Structure 1
Amino acid sequence: MIAAALLALLAPVFAAVALLVAGGLGRPVLFRQRRVGRHGELFEVIKFRSMLPPDPRRGLTGDANRLTPLGRWLRSTSLDELPSLWNVLRGDMSLVGPRPLLPEYLSRYSPTQARRHEVRPGITGLAQVRGRNGLSWEEKFDLDVEYVDRRSLLMDLSILGATVRTVLRRDGISAPGVATAPEFLGTPAGTAPTDAPEVTLSTNPSGTVTAQQGRRQ
């Protein structure tokens, strides 16, 4: 209900940002990418595009080269996240929860870190108001699991309030030394944990793709 109300209320903002993206970055205006949701189910997250498409001939290969001043502003104000309200309306995401990450990371989590998928991912979360991309991956995942264990309506309201302050202060927009955030390579960095779950993707009769986790032998 909140997502539906926000989608209607913010329609003029959506239109204005879409025009800015179309004029500054070209089409498509929206960025779509598969992410991991609750219980390992994959879905397509929707955001406003903040980067130019890869083009080696123009030197547009890394995030730092592809992220434009407009893209940095969209990320710093979190306006690029507004279309994800559609994911909340669909039930793929919640307003509050661990951030949805790439399917490639599934096999790199430890069993404890993988508990972040016990709840729906969120547009904002505990890690986002405690340091955002200024935190290490391990710190983010510790906060994600803390949220899973302690979640409540009061905690969600507190996180939503803290999110407004974080966005206004523009804290933790990017990790030190990188344009956005480094790739998660496992714990310790560069290797997959030996106790990480082994992950396989499967499609059920309805066509939904899910990620199934099992112990490594």
Structure 2
Amino acid sequence: MVDEGSNETDVTVEFVCVFWDYNPKNGEGGKWSEEGCRMVSTNDTEIVCACNHLTSFAVLVRFSSDIEESPYHVVLSVITIIGCVISIIGLSFTLVVMLLIRSVRIKQQTHVHFNLCLALVGLYLSFLLGVDRTKIPGVCKAMTSLIYFFCLSSVAWMSVEAFYIYMLIWKYKRNSIHHLVTVAVLLAWGLPAVGAIIIIFFDHGHNYEESPD
């Protein structure tokens, strides 16, 4: 045990014999692996390892700690969940009003508001349903893509809102505003979708699974 100056934290230091695996089974570019290697002996001055193959070897230091979860973490998590739920309820009510009241539905600005609310609802739902889904890499990757998509869409529709207000202030023609909404639907949903597709099909990197530590 290594004393870190706190009674609540004990850090365990473990030495690990590893080699650099250039062709890992999971398709990544390379990683440290313990396969075929074991520790023979260790003392204060040296560590002896034995491996059944030849490659690049190293001794890594693995730290693990028993840290009590802070009560503030639980409180903040609850506050975040409550805030997201309240936002989803409010946004859903707004969407229903826009759909049911015809005098509101036919306005051009309502189309922009509707899409922004829809993107925010998708963002909050994806966050609530997927922020803790990290144990299965495929599910984690899918939820990451959804959060990424709706986050970019929300920012895009906020930008459309700002530009729409600018056009109203400078009294652009109604046809120009209608054309803006049509283009905005394609760009504000299409570009984030392209980014999400790239993540799903072309990004074969790391960090789509829960860290074992």
TM-score (norm 2): 0.28
Higher relative contact order at CA 8 Å, sep ≥6: structure 1 or structure 2? 1
TM-score w.r.t. the length of structure 1 is: 0.28
Structure (1 or 2) with the greater helix fraction:
2
In terms of Rg, which structure is larger? 2
